[in-house]
């Protein structure tokens, strides 16, 4: 094949060949070309595993490699469909001779990079933001390259590795087109006001025309009357724009339609691009299986089964402070705990409660003071003033009660960050548009209904099972069989049930950091990072 070679006596090359999994053999079993290839890929685990399993043979060179070279070029041309720029994968000119080690490595490295990007994402999540607790999965590149080598149609192999999620495909479609949420500049602006069913006038006619211009047309009865069809068109627009979908054109909806405070098309595309990257981080998850989906910027929790949403509830997420932001990760929910005790996290204990106890040992009387073995202590025997936040040796716990901070039920998926879902006595928070008010855990708007939905797969009467546990007054742990995967995610762009892409505020500025990291990898042309969808 004309590979550039190193000397046959190179011990480094011999060691490299051995490290690739090629059976140990006398030096003469490896040609200079094979040893050169071994040396070149020794520091790339994916290529080392692939070529080691291929007997250190080139796969992209000469006439026999022509179909593979063209398949790789075709795949590179398609990468913008995934929100990834094609120039991330520079290849030799198609007219250049496909000869030598350099040409082999150029194609192999770009093929490996393309497959890494599609199956695990361009970025390493924790390097972008330490609050994204989503570790990289095992590399699929050696297996995919082997399939690419063996396939009669190598193009199909490179087209297949992207996440096979309906939401991924919907985001791809929106990236290539989709509705621009700003109306054409030559249309009349909508007068300020509050337009709702029953309203009449020229402002209603302008609203109707503006919505129709961007793909949200309503059947026309009386053009200047706000009827139920127009209310539904407004609600569809609001869902697409990430606004409360009440079907009433108030100041925020009108401002968005008029171009003020609008999410421009470039920023919208960036939000979608980041969402595609986030889904590539989750490529190994089975999102068709039954699972709980907590979308942090949407302030929602859903139960999904067979790709369909079977339950939805409003949720409260962590406050936007370093110690309270809700992290992102996936785990398995294994318990529904009825009448839970609240074991106060140490951070809250020393920050919020220790100063009160130091001022008055009988403060926060709804909390028990426990020693390290879990024994309840009498407060009269404790001098709280002698302890600091670092030396406080006790724990605090709230017994099951109507005003327990966790309400009447919590949902446990054991994790090192002590994050879980739970009820709350603070029901008023669910009426807020922005619901970032917790200490990090997720508060559930309809927790009993969620418990019933989760238990429904293992009992014919989940309501009765839950009611018996609740009526006991005791903390009761109900085990989910099997456990239910739970995904704490952060998507500011996400397809709704109607296929429209909905946009949500970047409440923790995580997407802005991801976009900045993608820019550093060659995405975009610089400029502003993702705008908030307010």
Catalytic residues: 422, 441
Q: Contact at 8 Å (CB) between 507 and 320?
A: yes
Per-residue DSSP letter, 17: H
CA 85, CA 102: separation in Å to the nearest integer? 23
Helices marked H in 317-391: 346-348, 354-359
CA distance 500 to 55: 49
- Reference 72, options 118, 38, 33; nearest CA is 118
Distance of alpha carbon 228 from alpha carbon 44, whole angstroms: 61
3-state secondary structure of 337: strand
| Tokens found for residue 30 | 């490896």
CA atoms within 13 A of residue 435's CA, in its CB half-sphere: 26
How many Cα atoms within 13 Å fall on the side-chain side of residue 489?
28
* Nearest C-alpha neighbor of 348 from the set 398, 422, 399: 398
**Mutual orientation of helices 265-281 and 166-176 as an angle, nearest 10°?**
150
Neighbours of 148 (CB within 10 A): 23
Q: Which contacts qualify for 494-498: CB closer than 8 Å, 24 or more apart?
A: 494/167, 494/275, 494/295, 494/298, 495/166, 495/167, 495/170, 495/171, 495/174, 496/239, 496/240, 497/309, 498/236, 498/239
Q: Within 10 A of 105 (CB to CB), how many other CB atoms are there?
A: 20
Crossing angle of helices 265-281 and 100-120, rounded to 10°: 90
């Amino acid at each position: 094949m004309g590979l550039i070679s190193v000397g046959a006596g190179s011990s480094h090359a011999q060691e490299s060949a051995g490290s690739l999994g090629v059976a140990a053999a006398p030096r003469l079993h490896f040609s200079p070309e094979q040893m050169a290839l071994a040396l070149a890929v020794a520091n790339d685990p994916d290529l080392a595993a692939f070529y080691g399993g291929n007997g250190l043979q080139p796969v992209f060179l000469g006439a026999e490699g022509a179909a593979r070279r063209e398949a790789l070029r075709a795949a590179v041309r398609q990468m913008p469909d995934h929100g990834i720029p094609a120039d991330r994968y520079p290849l030799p000119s198609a007219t250049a001779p496909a000869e030598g080690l350099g040409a082999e490595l150029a194609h192999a490295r770009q093929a490996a990079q393309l497959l890494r990007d599609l199956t695990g994402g361009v970025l390493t999540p924790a390097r972008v933001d330490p609050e994204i607790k989503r570790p990289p999965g095992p590399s699929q590149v050696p297996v995919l390259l082997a399939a690419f080598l063996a396939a009669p149609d190598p193009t199909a192999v490179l087209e297949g590795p992207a996440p096979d999620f309906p939401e991924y495909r919907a985001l791809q479609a929106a990236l290539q087109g989709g509705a621009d949420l700003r109306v054409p500049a030559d249309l009349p602006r909508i007068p300020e006001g509050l337009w709702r069913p029953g309203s009449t006038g020229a402002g209603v006619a302008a609203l109707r025309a503006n919505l129709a211009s961007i793909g949200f047309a309503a059947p026309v009865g009386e053009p200047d009357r706000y009827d139920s069809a127009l209310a539904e068109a407004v609600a569809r627009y609001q869902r697409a724009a990430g606004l409360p979908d009440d079907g009433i054109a108030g100041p925020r909806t009108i401002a968005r339609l008029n171009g003020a405070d609008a999410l421009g098309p470039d920023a919208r595309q960036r939000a979608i691009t980041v969402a595609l990257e986030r889904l590539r981080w989750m490529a190994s998850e089975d999102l068709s299986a039954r699972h709980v989906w907590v979308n942090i910027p949407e302030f929602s929790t859903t139960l999904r089964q067979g790709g369909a949403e079977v339950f939805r509830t409003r949720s409260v997420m962590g406050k936007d402070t370093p110690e309270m932001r809700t992290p992102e990760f996936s785990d398995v929910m294994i318990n529904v705990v009825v009448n839970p005790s609240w074991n106060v996290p140490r951070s809250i204990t020393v920050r919020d409660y220790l100063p009160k106890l130091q001022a008055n040992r009988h403060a926060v009387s709804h909390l028990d003071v426990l020693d390290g073995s879990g024994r309840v202590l009498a407060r009269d025997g404790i001098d709280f003033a002698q302890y600091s936040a670092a030396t406080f040796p006790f724990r605090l716990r709230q017994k099951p009660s109507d005003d327990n901070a966790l309400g009447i039920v919590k949902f446990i998926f054991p994790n090192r960050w002590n994050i879980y879902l739970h009820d709350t006595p603070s029901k008023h928070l669910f009426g807020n548009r922005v619901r970032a008010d917790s200490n990090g855990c997720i508060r559930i708007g309809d927790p009993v209904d969620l418990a019933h939905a989760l238990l429904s797969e293992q009992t014919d009467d989940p309501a009765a099972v839950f009611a018996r546990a609740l009526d006991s007054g005791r903390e009761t742990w109900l085990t989910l069989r099997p456990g239910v995967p739970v995904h704490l995610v952060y998507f500011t762009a996400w397809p709704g049930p109607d296929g429209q892409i909905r946009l949500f505020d970047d409440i923790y500025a995580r997407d802005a950091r991801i976009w900045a990291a993608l820019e550093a990898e060659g995405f975009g042309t610089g400029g502003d990072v993702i705008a908030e969808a307010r």
